[in-house]
Amino acid sequence: MKVSKIKIKVFGYVQGVFFRYTTRKVARKLGLTGYVKNMSDGTVYIEAEGPQDKLFELLKFSKQGPKHAQVEKIEHEFTPPTNEFKGFDYEF
């Protein structure tokens, strides 16, 4: 099982629609560590570490988001894990 890190930037109507809350819930269920953050440019930024198959599940979720989100596009990249996170939470 390959452990990796993913960085995801989600564009669209993604703030104020429980995107961070739902992302945290999904990530914790998948056993991932990292954080999710609202950015000043209106995007949502996600950084997560864990098994690559679980990261792909998080990526799949982020392409759709929660019920009221309107995801226009996402950007993502995989990088080597840094093992810096203890759990998965919000960052402000």
Model confidence, pTM: 0.96
Burial 16-51 (b: 16+ CB within 10 A, else e): ebbbbebbbebbeebebbbbbebeeeebbbbbbbbe
Predicted confidence at residue 62, as pLDDT, reads: 98
Euclidean distance between CA atoms 84 and 76, whole angstroms: 19
Residue pLDDT, tens place only, 33-80: 999 999 999 999 999 999 999 999 999 999 999 999 999 999 999 999
pLDDT tier at 87 (50, 70, 90 boundaries)? very high
**Is 20 marked active-site?**
yes
Look at residue 31 and tell me whether its pLDDT is greater than 80.
yes
Do 7 and 56 form a contact (C-beta atoms < 8 A)?
A: no
Predicted confidence at residue 1, as pLDDT, reads: 74
Q: Per the residue annotation, which of 24, 28, 38, 83 is the catalytic one?
A: 38
**Is 38 marked active-site?**
yes
Question: What does the pLDDT average to over 14-36?
Answer: 97
**CATH code assigned to 3-84:** 3.30.70.100
